[in-house]
Each structure stands twice: as structure tokens, then as C-alpha cells.
Amino acid sequence: MQPEVVEALASRFRLHRLDQVADKEALLSEVGPHVRGLAVGAQTPVDAKIFDRLPRLEIVSNFGVGYDTIDAKEAGRRGIIVTNTPDVLTDEVADLALGLLLSTVRQIPQADRYLRAGKWPTKPYPLTSTLRERKVGILGLGRIGHAIARRLQGFDVAIHYHGRSRQSDVAYAYHATLLDLARAVDVLMVVAPGGAGTEGMVNAEVLAALGPDGIVINVARGTVIDEPALIDALRSGTIHSAGLDVFAKEPQVPQELIDVERAVLLPHVGSASVHTRRAMGRLVVDNLVSWFDGKGPLTPVAETPWSRRA
């Protein structure tokens, strides 16, 4: 958690820092029976075992829009509210997604390394791929997916999407299955949430359907892509290239991916600007303050809906 978040929480609540003690079990045993609210980082596992240790827990405020590390269904079953930080990071992640796409298509990092290595005087950098005449498929047309689509419109590319259902208010081409989407496009933008329901859904068959000019961009969760299958597809030329901001086991990145010259790899920086992280932190605090002021949560997740009580 950022210092501003910690300071804001400490000014309003009695704050216990599980992340700063050597003996976490001892602290949980001491304060667990009294804890009513939990502020967690985006990759912090929160499951039934934690809920058992916090019998008075009312709310979990998550720093991040993704909350696949929290067992939200179990929280809902126990009457515990889970909140996340949507909207405040949508534009930042969408901007990064487009930057990652352009960097991958035009090989911007590779060209930068080429110049720095002093190779330009020897010969020009090789010609690259292009966005011209490409069809872009978005896996997960939620808030961030919509923001990415709006930005893509400025590049005059055809936009397709796949999700749980067709959205009646958009004109983009809908595909009922991910495989159908992959067959129709040559760029796949992965913006689907993580979790068991999406794990490994971008698999070898989907990658093969993209074809040898296919490009995969992932700004969602690393688990959505079958990482070994992606490595094989890149090595064999089954697809052209990949731009990844997320990985299956962060911060460890497979050496096989690092060794692929046609992959652009970022250290999960989609929302990592000072402006956006501050806004996310404020929303973590505001959710807790609103809850304990009796006003209800500001941004509850779908598994723990909230109806304002009289």
C-alpha cells in the first residue's frame, strides 16, 4: 500500500500492519477476532482460511480492479462485502494497452535497442509489421475493453469482440466463442478478468487460429493465457508476436519468453502512474470510510452486491 493510503487509514481506524510483522500468525491470533475491515493489495490472497481467522470481518477493500485472488463468492456467502477500484484506472490501462500494441507491431523497443547498440550506421532497421488493414479482437468488452475500443477507432481498424453475451449498444462485430473471434482477427487484445473461469482460455488452438501474422496483447491477468502454449507459438512462428504486461507467476517471467525477440514484455505497469495509483488508493480508503460511516460500499464487486438499507 502507498504511504498516503496507510496514513489515511491510520488517521481514521485502528490499523494493524500484517505486512510488516515477522510473525503473522501471532498478530492474526491477537487481533483477528476484532478486525472488521481489511485493505489488501491487488495480489494478496484472501480466502476462507483468512475469513475463519477474522470472524467479525465486514468488508475487504481491494487495491486494484482485478480481484481474482479474493474468494468473493465465499465472502458473499458469509455476508462480507468485497470492493475494488474500477473506473479510476480504466483510461490508464487502456492507454498502456495501445502503447503496448504499437510497441509490439512496430517493434519500438527493439528499434531502440538497435540504435543504442550502434547498428544504425551499418544498415537501416528492418521493416516491421503494421496496424494497417488489421482486424482487432477484444476478449472482454468491459470498462477497459470499451476504452481500448474507443482508442482503436482512431486507428481505423476493424473491431471485433467476444464476451459472455452480445452487447446490444455497440456496433462492433460479436463472436459467440473465443475461437471464432481468433479466426476472424489477427490481433487479440486480452482484457478478460482472471480466475478459474478464464484460466488458460487463450490456448494453443486459439493461438493457431490467429495465424502467422497474429499478435497477442495481454493487459489483464497472465493466467488467462496458456503461457507454455504461447511460448511454443512464438518459437514456432504459429503467431507473429506478443505484447505482455502480465504473467502467470509474477514477478517471475519465463526465460523462454525473455529470449523471444518478437515479444515486448512489461513488468505489470498498466495502472502504474502516480496519478492513477493515488486515485486507486483514495478509493480503497473511501470504500472503508463509507462503509463504517454507515453509507454502504462505493464500489462493491458483483459477487457481493449491496442494497442500501433504510
Residue 43 has what pLDDT?
77
Tell me which of 134, 146, 221, 277 is the catalytic residue.
221
Is the CB of residue 54 less than 8 Å from the CB of residue 35? yes
Asked if 309 is an active-site residue, the reply is no
- 116 with 247, same domain: the answer is yes
Q: Are 178 and 201 in contact (CB under 8 A)?
A: yes
The answer to whether position 119 is within a domain reads yes
303 domain-assigned: no
Q: Residue 307 has what pLDDT?
A: 79
The C-alpha cell that represents 149 in the structure block: 475500443
**Mean pLDDT score, 16-29:** 93
Contact 42, 66 (CB under 8 A): yes
Is the confidence at residue 209, as pLDDT, over 50? yes
Kindly report the CATH number assigned to the domain that includes residue 232.
Answer: 3.40.50.720
Distance, in Å, from the CA atom of 201 to the CA atom of 162, rounded to the nearest integer, reads: 12
pTM of the model as a whole: 0.90
User: How much is the average pLDDT of 205-230?
Assistant: 98
74: amino acid identity, one letter: E
pLDDT digits (tens, 9 = 90+) for 106-165: 999 999 999 999 999 999 999 999 999 999 999 999 999 999 999 999 999 999 999 999
Q: What integer is the mean pLDDT of 47-53?
A: 96
| DSSP category for residue 263 | E
Q: Considering its fold, how many domains does the chain have in total?
A: 2
Looking at 7, 30, 205, 250, which residue is catalytic? 250
Q: Radius of gyration over alpha carbons of the chain, in Å? A: 21
For residue 112, is it within any domain? yes
- Has residue 208 been placed in a domain? yes
Residues 125 and 234 in one domain: yes
Whether 299 is in a domain gets the answer: no
- Please state, in angstroms and rounded to a whole number, the distance separating the CA atoms of residues 96 and 300: 25
pLDDT at 308 over 80: no
Catalytic residue among 78, 143, 151, 268: 268
- The confidence score (pLDDT) of residue 52 equals 97
All cell numbers assigned to 206: 486459439
Helix (H, G, I), strand (E, B) or coil at 265: strand
pLDDT score recorded for residue 309: 54
Say yes or no: 16 and 51 in one domain.
Answer: yes
Query: How would you classify residue 237: left for phi > 0, otherwise alpha for psi between -120 and 50, otherwise beta?
Result: left
Place of cell 503473522: 24
> 50 pLDDT exceeds 50?
yes
For the question of residue 74 being annotated catalytic, the response is no
151 is catalytic: no
φ, ψ dihedrals at 153, nearest 5°: -60, -30
Position 266, amino acid = L
Position 310 in a domain: no
The grid cell for 37 is 475491515
pLDDT reported for residue 310: 39
| Residue 263, all three cell numbers | 515479444
| Domain region containing 38 | 3-88+273-292
Give the length of the chain.
310
Per-residue pLDDT reduced to its tens digit, 265-296: 999 999 999 999 999 999 999 999 999 999 99
63 and 107 in a single domain? The answer is no
Share of the chain above pLDDT 70, in %: 99
The DSSP code sequence of 209-253 is HH-TT-EEEE-S-GGGB-HHHHHHHHHHTSSSEEEES--TBTTB-
